[in-house]
Amino acid sequence: MVDEKRLISKITWKLMPFLGILYLIAYIDRQNVSFAKLQMVDALGMSEYAYGLGASLFFIGYFLFEVPSNLFLDRLGARVWFARILVSWGIVTVALAFTQNATMFYILRFLLGVCEAGFFPGVLYLLTLWFPSAYRGRMVGLFMIFSAIANAVGAPLGGVLLDLDGLYGFAGWEWVFLATGIPAVIAGIVTFFYLPGRPENASFLSGEEKSWLERRLASENAGMGEDAGNGFKALIDPRVLLMALCYIAFPLSAYGLSYWLPTIVQAFGVSNTVNGFLNIIPWLLVAIALYAVPTMADKAQSKTPYIVIPAFIGAACLLLSALIPNHALQFAFLCVAAAGIFAPQPVFWSLPSRFLKGAGAAAGLAAINSVGNLGGFVAQNVVPWIKDESGSTIAPMFFLAACLAAGALLVFFVTRQLSSREPPAAPSRV
């Protein structure tokens, strides 16, 4: 007789800490440009807008190669494909330390997106192979906590690395890329030897445990229909397209805030190192919210409030941060806003896995993530443009607040529409 809680705990401890560490490295490598910017703009003679354009090209490469990458993952397995992703993005990150001009910066940021494409939705797909649906919200929440840890670690690390300016002949911004790129290459090599791909190939599970998990997942997938496992049909599934449209607001506000927060804090008149340590605070709140909100949502019949309410709170705090001139209150509101932006996302990702499986899940989750992450491209272009036009580092928060509120409203209406089409006997509603 298989003990379900013991089995899930065993899988969780085997997979989640390791996947979380990989995401920590990924997120630091994705966000290091926010601190490198503090010196790199002047070093390369770029405007804020030009730098924002270059930083945002990551999302174009990511968008174009996200779905193909996840389909390769489905074919080759997580162990091989994740190792390739990590090693290649680590090499490109190190190459960014040797950027000579704006054109080279643009090319390398685009290539970084190409290399990393497929990692986040790949993990989401991997979770559908290992965990029954009742546990996925919590697992995505645990996984995404490492993005908060990455920001908390990356912020002081970025500040300290900038203050190494001139050490061994490297500028501070060059140290930022060197010190964050090398760990990705090492982690890629470790991944190849450590990460199990599918439960049936896992040496740490007994035969009885493998059979139980296979039966449980098969019973959950039984009512989905053949199209749910078709990679190409998933790309034109109206539900996938609606989910992608809903998701745009979350990366847009998340990347807009995390990319721009060091610049806002710098305007308070603090040093690079103090800036980095202050930036730990919002991500500690994000980590707490990423655990609490998905845990509550997994126990609730309706998931929608756990997406919409935190998002509206985040939008309100972004708005208040731009309206109140006091620096301490601005920072406090931005900290709460960060929690409101990130906490709903694991709950959101529990929705599409209810109607996608197999190659359809690989393609559908990648499509939703790739379209949604175009919000990062928008944010990293519009935010510095607003600053250049307004002369205010806090004014872009009006834009992020409006986008997040609009996204929350869209999620509310779309999830109601999708839930109305579900059969009455469904075990849980959106």
186-198 pLDDT tens trace: 999 999 999 987 8
pLDDT band at residue 84 under the 50/70/90 scheme = very high
SS3 content of the chain, % helix, strand, coil (to 5): 85, 0, 15
Instruction: Give the model confidence (pLDDT) of 85-117 as tens digits.
Output: 999 999 999 999 999 988 999 999 999 999 998
Dihedral pair phi/psi, residue 379, rounded to 5°: -60, -45
DSSP at 222: T
Tokens of 418: 């999708």
Instruction: Give the model confidence (pLDDT) of 237-257 as tens digits.
Output: 777 888 888 899 999 998 888
Q: What is the pTM of this model?
A: 0.75
Q: So what's the pLDDT on residue 360?
A: 67
For residues 344-366, average pLDDT: 76
Question: Residue 77: CB partners within 8 Å, gap ≥ 6?
Answer: 197, 198
Contact 342, 286 (CB under 8 A): yes
- Give the C-alpha separation, 194 to 4, whole Å: 24
Environment class of residue 121 by beta-carbon count within 10 Å: exposed (0-12), middle (13-18) or buried (19+)?
buried
Instruction: Give the model confidence (pLDDT) of 393-412 as tens digits.
Output: 888 999 999 999 999 999 99
Is the pLDDT reported for residue 225 higher than 70? no
Q: So what's the pLDDT on residue 421?
A: 58
Domains (range + CATH), the chain: 4-420 (1.20.1250.20)
pLDDT band at residue 428 under the 50/70/90 scheme = very low
Q: What percent of the chain has pLDDT over 90?
A: 31
Burial 3-31 (b: 16+ CB within 10 A, else e): eeeebbebbbebbbebbbbbbbbbbbbbb
Q: What percent of the chain has pLDDT over 70?
A: 91
pLDDT band at residue 430 under the 50/70/90 scheme = very low
- Give the C-alpha separation, 115 to 86, whole Å: 8
Residues in the chain: 430
- Give the C-alpha separation, 80 to 296, whole Å: 35
Q: Find the helix packing angle between 119-130 and 48-76, rounded to 10°.
A: 30
Average pLDDT value for the chain: 84
Tokens of 344: 């709903």
Instruction: Give the model confidence (pLDDT) of 255-309 as tens digits.
Output: 888 878 888 888 888 887 788 788 889 988 998 999 899 888 878 888 899 999 9
- Give the C-alpha separation, 101 to 78, whole Å: 36
Tokens of 116: 């990393």
Question: Residue 325: CB partners within 8 Å, gap ≥ 6?
Answer: none
